[in-house]
Chain A
Amino acid sequence: MTVESTAARKPRRSAAGKTGTTGGKAAGTTGTKRTAAKKTTNAEPELVQLLTPEGKRIKNAGTAAYDPYVADITPDELRGLYRDMVLTRRFDAEATSLQRQGELGLWASLLGQEAAQIGSGRATREDDYVFPTYREHGVAWCRGVDPTNLLGMFRGVNNGGWDPTTNNFHLYTIVIGSQTLHATGYAMGIAKDGADSAVIAYFGDGASSQGDVAEAFTFSAVYNAPVVFFCQNNQWAISEPTEKQTRVPLYQRAQGFGFPGVRVDGNDVLACLAVTKWALERARRGEGPTLVEAYTYRMGAHTTSDDPTRYRHDDERVAWEAKDPIARLRGYLESETDTNEGFFAELEAESEALGRRVREVVRAMPDPDHFAIFENAYADGHALVDEERAQFAAYQASFADVDEEEGKER
């Protein structure tokens, strides 16, 4: 045999990690105990929360496992998280407007989920790999994907629009839950390579019902794959509330598959950052998958084609507005750090500039060349595609004289 068998080769894992194994285990154990206690009371389980809705820092037994992951966070880094959330929300609002103006065919807003996305996105390392749904605009931002690249598929000029390998940010996946398996396979590959990178797979409460998600849990557990399943439970799968998907809190699903699950306040960017870092470190250390359920709320419609007034009440939204992720961090910045008005004013200006740039880029986005239909259908080519492209070219060319008269370019 020319190739050495890799069976005996165990993935090399860095021993890095601020709290070590104990932290992880402690957190898992706490979660389980809480769950057991709550079963009898039938109340919602507690969240891991580091910032109250009023922006006060919490430290207690429930946060102890995660505190070390944000213990040395600087005011500048906190302002960075705030800036990420504000700019993401601004970009998102701009995209919604562009859809209303007819520049985009559709938009899936992330409004309300900024903390879940920025917290988890900023927890990733450059060499980690991200598998998003179609709403991870905030995560894309953290990964350095130019926001205007996200708009191509919503404008209808492409079906993807970015090179997934540039930022280790996979293409948006529209068929629900499929990407959790891709993430698991990618993570299996990382383990085979002996690297200490990790993978994070995003999905939602609706996706938790998909068979692919269950299979991803099974495969990742069986192969101990370094993957974090980050479920943004935004309470609604279009019109269906979470209770139409599950009888147990979603994070508890992990237990049956044999890995830890934890519910985090999805509107608390600090908690999302800490918990995701904890989960990613577990993966890096070779401890396998983790399910993080970020408990949040979809403040807007499912997409611009949706009408939430048909299935939910405004008072629900009002209640969640009081837990707004951006206001919460601002409260903390204003009371606990030296952040001054100048920062907020500058950010406001930057935000407007981003909106303007997005608007200009989208409006200038050219329609694709007609022959793009055939491009990249195959990597190695295909005789039928060649034949049909030639037929298409001949058909297009048959308009040449008409176009010449009308002065059109085809």
Chain B
Amino acid sequence: MTTQTAAQTAGQSAVKSLALAKAINESLRKALETDPKVLVMGEDVGKLGGVFRVTDGLQKDFGEDRVIDTPLAESGIVGTAIGLALRGYRPVVEIQFDGFVFPAYDQIVTQLAKMHARALGKVKLPVVVRIPYGGGIGAVEHHSESPEALFAHVAGLKVVSPSNASDAYWMMQQAIQSDDPVIFFEPKRRYWDKAEVNPEAIPGPLHKARVVREGTDLTLAAYGPMVKLCQEVADAAAEEGKALEVLDLRSVSPLDFDSIQTSVEKTGRLVVVHEAPVFFGSGAEIAARITERCFYHLEAPVLRVGGYHAPYPPARLEEEYLPGLDRVLDAVDRSLAY
């Protein structure tokens, strides 16, 4: 944090432009500095700094005791993090890639999510599980998946996904401070996107959606990597004279239905966009609940754009599989045609 300290001493603004990955790095650094109970653990997070360098330099500055290179065993990583949390620590664990989380799925769903309730509230499990997720980077199998719905379905877990560097910084701070386990989905294709981060700002609530762009004709709701796409869609639609509102949901569990409702009551139309398969995805839940809440405001059925009910395809097909500008615009047109 020497940079920041120097800036502060000089009385300069603390605002800086950071890539999303670097923002998470700085957020972890801040947490390690301010709370001696915070630990960072995972495969290759130490010397290497993580395969995406999100934890770069942390072990060097905080030691092997706090930034822990673990054996290559995901269930073991989450299982021991639970034990450390029971001892009073606040572990932030990294799962290297989305598709590698499933060996830990049992510990997350069966143990981590339920232990607070089973203990009648007497123990807390402040564990953050970081998962780089999503496609679009030309990766090999199991490196491009979006399993957020599988976690949102589990009571006891909170599920969030930032779309930009500033949110990444603050949402990580808030996730670490949360006394509940948080599954923190990092949009890996946006890791290198820069944005201004103000470490001295006062952040909004972790689980509240944000209107990224105001509009009156239709609401686009997304989170993580799809927020940027939806902004591009809104730009393209604007050229055709359509004013789209873009919501960054930020949190998948809990989901800020109030903000979606407010927007839909204004626009009357909703398209939900995520990389995850549409079938039983978060868009399905949003469609059902918004239909119930906004039945008389809706001018069209809630539409969803997302992945198909097929295994994530090889990299050379992912552009066809993932929601892109045209597919979302197509859904916008279909909605507006009602």
A interface with B by C-beta (< 8 Å): 1-3, 5-9, 158-161, 163-165, 170-171, 173, 175, 178, 180-190, 192-193, 211-212, 215-216, 218-219, 222, 375-380, 382-385
Looking at B47-55, B241-249, B252-260, B308-316, the stretch in contact with chain A turns out to be: B252-260
A384 touches B107 (CB 8 A): no
B84, A189: Cβ atoms closer than 8 Å: yes
- B76 engages A219 (CB within 8 Å): yes
Q: What are 25 A-B interface contacts by the 8 Å CB criterion?
A: A3-B33, A3-B34, A6-B36, A7-B66, A8-B63, A159-B117, A160-B118, A175-B111, A178-B79, A178-B106, A178-B110, A181-B78, A185-B85, A189-B84, A189-B86, A212-B79, A215-B71, A215-B73, A215-B79, A219-B71, A376-B121, A378-B180, A379-B124, A383-B255, A384-B253
CA distance A158 to B76 in the complex (A): 28
A171 pairs with B70, CB closer than 8 A: no
Contact (Cβ within 8 A) A379 B66 = no
Q: Which residues of A contact B106 (CB under 8 A)?
A: 175, 178, 212
Contact of B254 among A161, A212, A384 (CB under 8 A): A384
Could you tell me the distance between the alpha carbons of A3 and B31 in the complex, rounded to whole angstroms? 10
Q: How far is the CA of A186 from the CA of B61 in the complex (A)?
A: 24
Question: CA–CA, A186 to B86, complex, Å?
Answer: 7
**Nearest CB in chain B: distance from A206 CB, A:** 16
11 extra A-B contacts, CB within 8 A, seeds A192-B89, A378-B116, A385-B155: A3-B34, A164-B123, A175-B110, A181-B76, A181-B78, A188-B84, A376-B117, A382-B158, A383-B254, A383-B255, A384-B254
Q: How far is the CA of A8 from the CA of B114 in the complex (A)?
A: 35
Give, as a whole number of angstroms, the nearest-CB distance from A188 to chain B. Answer: 6
Interface string of B179-193 (1 = CB under 8 A from A): 110000000000000
B14, CB-defined interface residue at 8 Å: no
Q: Mark B40-83, 1 if CB is under 8 A from A, else 0.
A: 00000000000000000000011111100011010110111111
* A211-B73 Cα distance, complex, nearest whole Å: 10
**Inter-subunit contact A1/B80 (CB<8 Å):** no
Give the chain B neighbours of A161 by CB distance below 8 A.
Answer: 120
Which residue of B84, B110, B120 is within 8 Å of A376 (Cβ)? B120
Please determine whether A9 and B207 come into contact, CB atoms closer than 8 angstroms. no
- Are A379 and B207 in contact, with the CB atoms below 8 A? no
Closest A residue by C-beta to B156? A377
A182 contacts across to B, CB distance below 8 A: 79-80, 82-83, 86, 111
| Closest residue of A by beta carbon distance from B207 | A383
Residue B32 at the chain A interface, CB threshold 8 Å: yes
Whether B87 pairs with A189 at a CB distance below 8 angstroms is yes
Using a CB-CB cutoff of 8 Å, which residues 153-194 of chain B contact chain A?
Answer: 155-156, 158, 178-180
Please tell me if the beta carbons of B73 and A218 are within 8 angstroms of each other in the complex: yes
- B68 to A: closest C-beta gap in Å: 8
In the assembled complex, the Cα of A59 lies from the Cα of B107 at a distance in Å of 44
Residues of A within 8 A of B256 (CB): 383
Q: Are B83 and A183 in touch, CB under 8 angstroms?
A: yes
Measured between C-beta atoms, what is the minimum distance from B5 to chain A in Å? Answer: 10
Complex contacts, B337 vs chain A, CB 8 Å: none
Given A5-B65, A378-B156, A378-B158, verify A184-B254 contact (CB < 8 Å). no
Among all A-B residue pairs, the 10 with the closest Cβ atoms: A185-B83, A181-B79, A7-B63, A189-B87, A185-B80, A215-B76, A5-B63, A379-B179, A186-B83, A160-B118
Q: Is the CB of A181 within 8 A of B75?
A: yes
- Closest chain-B Cβ to A318's Cβ sits at a distance in Å of 38
CA A305 to CA B165, docked complex, whole Å: 55
Which chain B positions have C-beta within 8 A of A216?
76, 79-80
CB-contacts of B195-246 with A (<8 A): 207
In the bound complex, CA of A407 to CA of B256 (Å): 41
- Compute how far the CA of A193 lies from the CA of B84 in the bound complex, rounded to whole angstroms: 11
| A178 vs B108: C-alpha distance when bound (angstroms) | 11
Does B115 sit at the interface, judged by CB under 8 A? yes
A1-B76 in contact given A171-B115, A182-B82, A382-B253 (Cβ < 8 Å): no
The answer to whether B122 touches A165, judged by C-beta atoms less than 8 angstroms apart, is yes
CB of B61 within 8 A of CB of A1, answer yes
Tell me which residues across on chain A come within 8 A of B255, comparing CB atoms: 383-384
Q: Select one of B85, B121, B123, B254 contacting A375, CB under 8 A.
A: B121
Which of B33, B82, B257 gathers the greatest number of chain A CB atoms within 10 Å?
B82
- Chain A residues with CB under 8 Å of B73's CB are 215, 218-219
Alpha-carbon separation in the docked complex, A216 to B77 (Å)? 10
B138 interfacial by beta-carbon distance below 8 Å: no
